[in-house]
């Protein structure tokens, strides 16, 4: 490497070199473009102005406030408080309105749908799925199988008071465990009878007539002679295509022997009244309601 302190004028370009040379290549001392220099100077000037006008320099326990006294934190807090105030106005209107009136008012309905969607994601989606499609043991809110009815009022009541919880107003339908009442043969007879009535192939050699009699004597009081169920007590419609715990002879027998009775919390002590109404509007919009 040549002497880096020796400067000369390049013969081809007529520009002075910096004195740096690498493998025979000499660095020219080209000045920076004026537009670039002016832009650079402008940014420096703007930085100085910004330091004066806006918060910028940290101090020991605070920071310089700037001449304008601007604060993004204060602006964010103000925007949040404005949003809370706006929500409060809509929330009060929703509390005072009936569910039907909310659905009929486009402005209120849009607010309720947005609030209901947020509340559903926070509180309901873990069991019912993000779109309300449910899982085994957790109802699909998009179908038309509703144990206690799918009207706006029915959904609202269920949200308020819950299902099978320690609440005098909760929905409560309890199916006994017939493993303590029937023999294994009788459980198989009932399960095969019900399955045969809803399009399933019964197992060979099972006495369906005995199963029918057992059903009429023990199950028809809640599920009906025609298997259509009874919403008043939350007894499922056994003719439905949707079985919460599986639609097969084995699944029916398991439910007869040792029924799984699902639980849903009541939300009246956990969520605001406006939020619960908004949830009812949102869930009803899935299309499975009545």
Q: Annotated binding residues, as ranges?
A: 124, 127-128, 175, 219, 222-223, 264
Q: Residues for the chain: how many in total?
A: 290
**Cα distance between residue 41 and residue 55, in whole Å:** 22
The token duo for 257 is 């022997």
**Cα distance between residue 66 and residue 47, in whole Å:** 13
* Residue position matching structure tokens 């409560």: 172
Binding residues for heme c: 124, 127-128, 175, 219, 222-223, 264
Beta-carbon count within 10 A of 181 CB: 13
CB-CB contact of 171 with 164 (8 Å):
yes
Residues near 128 by beta carbon (within 8 Å), at least 6 away in sequence = 120, 134, 138, 139, 140, 141
Instruction: Please give the backbone phi and psi of residue 43, each rounded to the nearest 5 degrees, phi first.
Output: -65, -35
The pairs formed by 132-136 with CB atoms below 8 angstroms and a separation of 24 or more are 132/283, 132/286, 132/288, 136/244, 136/245, 136/246
Q: Name the 3-class secondary structure at 171.
A: strand
Partners of residue 16 on adjacent β-strands: 9
């Amino acid at each position: 490497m040549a002497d880096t302190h020796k400067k000369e004028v390049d013969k081809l370009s007529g520009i002075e070199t910096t004195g740096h040379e690498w493998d025979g290549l000499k660095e020219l001392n080209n000045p920076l473009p004026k537009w670039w220099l002016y832009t650079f100077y402008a940014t420096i000037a703007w930085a100085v102005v910004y330091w004066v006008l806006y918060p910028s320099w940290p101090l020991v326990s605070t920071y310089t406030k700037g001449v304008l006294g601007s604060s993004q934190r204060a602006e964010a807090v103000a925007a949040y408080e404005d949003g809370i105030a706006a929500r409060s106005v809509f929330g009060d209107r929703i509390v005072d309105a009936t569910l039907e009136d909310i659905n009929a008012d486009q402005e209120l309905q849009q607010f309720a749908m947005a609030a209901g969607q947020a509340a559903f994601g926070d509180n309901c989606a873990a069991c019912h799925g993000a779109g309300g499609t449910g899982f085994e043991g957790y109802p699909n809110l998009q179908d038309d199988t509703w144990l206690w009815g799918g009207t706006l009022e029915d959904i609202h009541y269920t949200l308020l008071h819950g299902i099978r919880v320690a609440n005098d107003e909760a929905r409560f339908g309890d199916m006994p465990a017939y493993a303590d009442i029937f023999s294994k043969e009788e459980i198989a007879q009932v399960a095969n009878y019900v399955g045969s009535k809803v399009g399933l192939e019964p197992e060979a050699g099972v006495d369906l007539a005995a199963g029918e009699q057992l059903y009429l004597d023990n199950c028809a009081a809640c599920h009906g002679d025609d298997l259509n169920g009874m919403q008043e007590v939350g007894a499922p419609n056994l003719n439905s295509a949707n079985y919460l715990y599986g639609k097969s002879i084995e699944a029916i027998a398991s439910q007869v022997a040792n029924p799984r009775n699902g639980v849903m919390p009541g939300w009246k002590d956990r969520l605001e009244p406006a939020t619960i109404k908004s949830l009812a509007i949102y869930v009803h919009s899935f299309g499975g309601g009545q």
